[in-house]
Amino acid sequence: MTMTHSGGQRRQFLKSALGATGALAGVPALSSLNRLVSNGRPPAGQGHGGYGPLFPAADLRDGVERIALPEGFHYRSFSPAGSFMSDGNRVPLAHDGMGVFNMQDGHFRLVRNHEDRNAPGAGTTALQANRSYDMKGGGGTTTVVVNPFTRQVESEFVSLSGTTVNCAGGVTPWGSWITCEETNVGPAIVANPWLKQHGYCFDVPASANGQVEAVAVPDMGRFAHEAVAVDPLTGIVYETEDLNPNSGLYRFTPSVAGQLAKGGRLQILGVKGRPTYDARTNQTVGVALETVWFDIANPNPAGTASNAVWLQGRAAGGCRFSRLEGCWWGNGALYFNDTNGGNAGAGQVWEYRPDSDGGTLTLIFESPNAAVLDAPDNLTVSPQEALLLCEDGGGDQYLRGVTLDGTIFDFGLNLQTDHEWAGAVFAEADPAWNDRKIRGSHQPLGGRWDRITLFVNRQGDTAGSNPPSAGNEGLTFAIWGPWKEGAL
């Protein structure tokens, strides 16, 4: 998921131009829209999906201009990597995939991945004997309790440890976050081996008030996991694989809905009547492909080969994607990104809609070049049923909105660094709790749109010491504003 970026000079130019007064303030964003038109892709203009030009915005935490947003939007950052949490531990490196939960006490809880890529024993997530999966694993999750009206942190703590390269994951209907390891490392004859095999999924209850026991789910597959999404009607868990250039889309049907550790059936997606279909290039937007599912005979093969599960799926007739990353459930369908897919290699956005035992696979957006959309990674479905994409490409990093009829628009720009966006998720506060003055923080709000917050991460460094060097720390942002004026 993590890439190396080198767009500092261009980012500084953009920041300077965005900060200009008068008409010049919107030039970079308008230029981006002009590039969309020149590439045959109509932008979602202001009031028709988009929110208009981007402007530098001051962080309400300290006044620093870290991101650019459309006019009228505000944000507050919190939980920088290296700062101390409520449990006395430091916030780990590499803020990545994330889920949000409305709790019974009225608060939001964020369960956040940390894609720590340090060597065995050198990670930054605090370990706990008898609860950590691998006492040399440095990744895991943290849980952050946020006041839904002030958008400020009230507590935070490690909730899973002993894993590694926790990239993305997904929320579940049973109130938990499934965190996924994007790696296949394991014990080997080396000077500093891992203690256990990795490449698994772990279920983390949002209600936990400390570290939970880390229990791997081998039946969900051992491969370079990226993200998952759960169909709330069936309990089926869909899984993406980040194994460039050969990746599959999988589904896991639990033996007992909501109890993953009891096992289940793993399958790979295929296109009906077209075995080993290649979806990476030469696809047509809007064409629905009939699909089938093929069994994976051995979801947990021995060894650390990165493609052992994929090769089984391919031999059975599975569909080939380039590099599947973010996915999310919404509108009765699964939406997912192929980060390097498409004829330009700049990214595809797909919809899978289940129907009986099959379903349809439809390309809803393909980037013609990196100026339009560059390597979409995590994504989420917005309250108005559009998609918000987190970029992980080269140079400037944008948050992009995509409507389901295939138009795209800019929503946010990282002004400080080239670190990717990750973990975008929307939450709506319960107005009843506003009336009850959560911990004395009563703030009257005008209606539903005022209660909606977008949470998103800037990843930051994925390896090295903690705290990281200044400016390279992971951060979480809360963003709010006039959502009803656009598609999100």
- 274-331 tens-digit pLDDT: 999 999 999 999 999 999 999 999 999 998 888 999 999 999 999 999 999 999 999 9
- 253-275 tens-digit pLDDT: 999 999 999 999 999 999 999 99
| d(C-alpha 197, C-alpha 82), whole Å | 28
Beta bridge partners of 345: none
The residue with tokens 């052992």 is 308
Nearest alpha carbon to residue 237 among 207, 262, 214, 272: 262
- 398-441 tens-digit pLDDT: 999 999 888 999 999 999 999 999 999 999 998 888 777 666 66
Strand residue runs (E) in 79-224 = 95-102, 108-114, 139-146, 153-163, 166-171, 176-181, 201-205
| d(C-alpha 89, C-alpha 81), whole Å | 11
Question: Which residues, other chains included, contact 449 with Cβ-Cβ below 8 Å and sequence gap of 6+?
Answer: 482, 483, 484
C-alpha torsion sign, points 387, 383, 147, 416: positive
| d(C-alpha 225, C-alpha 470), whole Å | 30
- 232-241 tens-digit pLDDT: 999 999 999 9
CA count, 13 A, side-chain hemisphere, 372: 26
The residue with tokens 């949470």 is 455
Considering the entire predicted model, what is its pTM? Answer: 0.92
Percent of the chain whose pLDDT exceeds 90: 81
- 137-179 tens-digit pLDDT: 999 999 999 999 999 999 999 999 999 999 999 999 999 999 9
C-alpha radius of gyration, the chain, whole number = 21
Residues in the chain: 488
Average pLDDT over residues 6-31: 33
CB atoms within 10 A of CB 406: 16
Structure tokens given for 7: 């767009």
- 352-388 tens-digit pLDDT: 999 988 999 999 999 999 999 999 999 999 999 999 9
Query: What pLDDT sits at residue 40?
Result: 42
Q: How far lies 50's CA from each of 43, 76, 346, 396, in Å?
A: 8, 22, 21, 19
